Structure 1
Amino acid sequence: MNNLTKYTNTPIIGLLIKKIMDFTVNREVKTVARHFSTYLHPLIAENNELCNESYRIRNDVFCKELKCLDIGHNGLETDDFDKYSTHCLIQHIATTRFSGTIRVIRPETNQDTIPLQKYCSESISKGKINPQDFAPHEICEISRLAVPKDFRKRLTDNFNGAATGVINQSIYSENELRCFPFIAVGLYLSAASVVMKNDIKHTFVMMEPRLARSMNFIGIQFEPIGSTVDYYGKRAPYYINPSLLMENLTPGFQVMLKDIKKSLYHSSKHKTFF
Structure 2
Amino acid sequence: MKQNASLIETYNDYFDIEVADTPDLLREVFALRYQVYCVENPFENAADFPDQLEKDVFDDRSVHGLVRYRPTGWVVATVRLVLPDNDDPGTAFPIEQNCAASFALSGLNTRLLPRRSLAEISRFAVSKELKRRAGEADTLAGVGPDPEAYVKPLNNGKRLIPHVTLGLFAAIVRMSAAHDISHWYAVMEPSLLRLLTRFGIEFTPIGEPVDYHGLRQPCFGAVEQVLEGMWKKRQDVWALITGDGADWPPPARYTSASR
Same fold (TM over 0.5): yes
User: Within 2, Cα distance between the matches of 1:77 and 1:183?
Assistant: 21
Shift of residue 70, structure 1, vs aligned partner: 1.1
Q: 1:101 aligns with which of 78, 86, 99?
A: 78
User: Within 2, Cα distance between the matches of 1:152 and 1:29?
Assistant: 25
Q: Which has the larger radius of gyration?
A: 1
Distance 1:162 1:81, change over 3 A: farther
Match of 2:23 in 1: 48
Distance 1:175 1:119, change over 3 A: closer
Aligned-pair identity (%): 26
User: Within 2, Cα distance between the matches of 1:259 and 1:137?
Assistant: 25
Q: 1:259 aligns with which of 243, 246, 251?
A: 243
Matched position secondary structure for 1:95:
coil
Which structure carries more helix by proportion? 1
Alignment of 1:30-69 (within 5 A): 30-69=5-44
Distance 1:78 1:122, change over 3 A: same
Match of 2:152 in 1: none
Shift of residue 116, structure 1, vs aligned partner: 0.8
The number of residue pairs the alignment matches comes to 231
Residues 145 and 163, structure 1, Cα contact 8 Å, conserved in 2: no
Alignment of 1:127-142 (within 5 A): 128-134=107-113, 136-142=115-121
Residues 141 and 165, structure 2, Cα contact 8 Å, conserved in 1: no
Distance 1:246 1:70, change over 3 A: same
Alignment of 1:8-47 (within 5 A): 27-28=2-3, 30-47=5-22
Residues 187 and 219, structure 2, Cα contact 8 Å, conserved in 1: yes
The one-letter code of the counterpart of 1:54 is: V
Shift of residue 258, structure 1, vs aligned partner: 2.9
Structure 1 unaligned residues grouped into runs of 5+: 1-25, 165-173, 264-274
1:92 maps to 2:73: no
The one-letter code of the counterpart of 2:41 is: L
Match of 1:83 in 2: 60
Match of 1:157 in 2: 138
Residues 126 and 140, structure 2, Cα contact 8 Å, conserved in 1: no
Structure 2 unaligned residues grouped into runs of 5+: 146-154, 248-259
Match of 2:151 in 1: none
Residues 15 and 70, structure 2, Cα contact 8 Å, conserved in 1: yes
Distance 1:148 1:127, change over 3 A: closer
Q: Deviations over 1:81-138 (max 9, x none)?
A: 0001000011122321112100000022326431011221221255654433335422
The one-letter code of the counterpart of 1:83 is: D
Match of 2:251 in 1: none
1:210 maps to 2:191: yes
Q: Deviations over 1:199-226 (max 9, x none)?
A: 2121110112232121101111011121
The one-letter code of the counterpart of 1:81 is: F
The one-letter code of the counterpart of 1:240 is: G
Matched position secondary structure for 1:124:
helix
User: Within 2, Cα distance between the matches of 1:41 and 1:197?
Assistant: 18
User: Within 2, Cα distance between the matches of 1:77 and 1:261?
Assistant: 33
